[in-house]
Amino acid sequence: MSILQLKDINTYYGGIHALKGISISVEKGEIVTLIGSNGAGKSTTLKTISGQVLPKTGSVIYEGKDISKQPAHITAQTGIAHVPEGRRIFPRLTVKENLEMGAFIVKDKKVIKERMEQVFDYFPRLRERLTQKGGTMSGGEQQMLAMGRALMSKPSLLLLDEPSMGLAPVIVEQIFDIISDLNKEGMTILLVEQNAFQALQIANRGYVLQTGEIVMAGQGNELITNESVREAYLA
C-alpha cells in the first residue's frame, strides 16, 4: 500500500513555477530517492509534502488522507518527519534538549526516555555528547542530531533532504549506512540527494527531477546503470 502519493503537484514561489505536475508514490517500507541537479525542485517536493509550502494544484495523499492543504506543524504531528537541508538543529540548545524538542508533544517522560534510547542505538555518538551545545558539534554530528531529533517524533515516513551535504566521505558512508539500517528496521524513507550514486545504491526506487518535472523513474539499480542518468548525474 502507498504510504504517500503525490498527484500532479504544481507548486509556485510567486511567479516561479517550481514543480510542474509532479506525481510520485512511496510504498511502506521503501527507500525512494529523488535525484536531480541544483534547482530541479527536490527540496520543494519535500517542503510540499511536509506542508512548508502549499501546492497550487494537485494532491498529497498520506495514509489515504489528502494533506495538501495541511500546515506543517500538523503534518509533523501525524507521522511525517522532515530533516531539512542544512540540518537546522537548535545551535544553543544541548543535544539532549534538541532531541527533546523532537518529541515536544509527548508529555510522558518515560516515553521520551525510551525514544531517546532508540535514537542512541542508531547514533551512539549523541549519547556521549548529551550536554554539548548543538552548534558546537561537527557537521556529521549535527546531521546525526537532526536525524535523531526527527526520530523522536516516531515518524512513519522520514523525509531526508541532502543528509550527506558538506560531509567528509567517511562520514557520508556512516550516514548512508544508518539510513539503510533505519529502513531495515521498517522505516519508510524519501531521500533527496545530490550524491546520486550512493542514494541509488540504497534505494528501492528513484525519480529523476529536472526543472520541476520527473523525467525518469525506475528501480535504484536500473537507474544506476542507465546511460543518460550516468552521464548527467553519476559522471
Closer CB to ligand ATP, 49 or 152, in the complex: 49
Distance separating alpha carbons of residues 200 and 34, to the nearest angstrom: 9
Distance separating alpha carbons of residues 196 and 157, to the nearest angstrom: 21
Question: CB 45 → ligand ATP: shortest distance, Å?
Answer: 7
Which residues does 6 contact at the CB level (< 8 Å), separation at least 6?
Answer: 22, 23, 24, 25, 45, 48, 49, 58, 59, 60, 61
Distance separating alpha carbons of residues 67 and 47, to the nearest angstrom: 12
163 binds ligand ATP (CB under 6 A): no
Question: CB 71 → ligand ATP: shortest distance, Å?
Answer: 17
13 binds ligand ATP (CB under 6 A): yes
Site map (CB under 6 A) of ligand ATP, residues 17-46, x = contact: -x-----------------x-xxxxxxx--
- Please choose, out of 11-19, 105-113, 169-177, 196-204, the segment that lies near ligand ATP by the rule CB under 6 A: 11-19
Q: Where in 44-83 is the site for ligand ATP (CB under 6 A)?
A: 44
Distance separating alpha carbons of residues 160 and 151, to the nearest angstrom: 11
Closer CB to ligand ATP, 84 or 218, in the complex: 84
Distance separating alpha carbons of residues 82 and 55, to the nearest angstrom: 17
Positions of E strands within 164-212: 188-192, 205-210
Question: CB 139 → ligand ATP: shortest distance, Å?
Answer: 17
**One of 16, 74, 111, 130 touching ligand ATP (CB under 6 A):** 16
Closer CB to ligand ATP, 35 or 150, in the complex: 35
Query: CB of 46 within 8 A of CB of 192?
Result: yes
Contacts with ligand ATP by CB under 6 A lie at 13, 16, 18, 36, 38-44
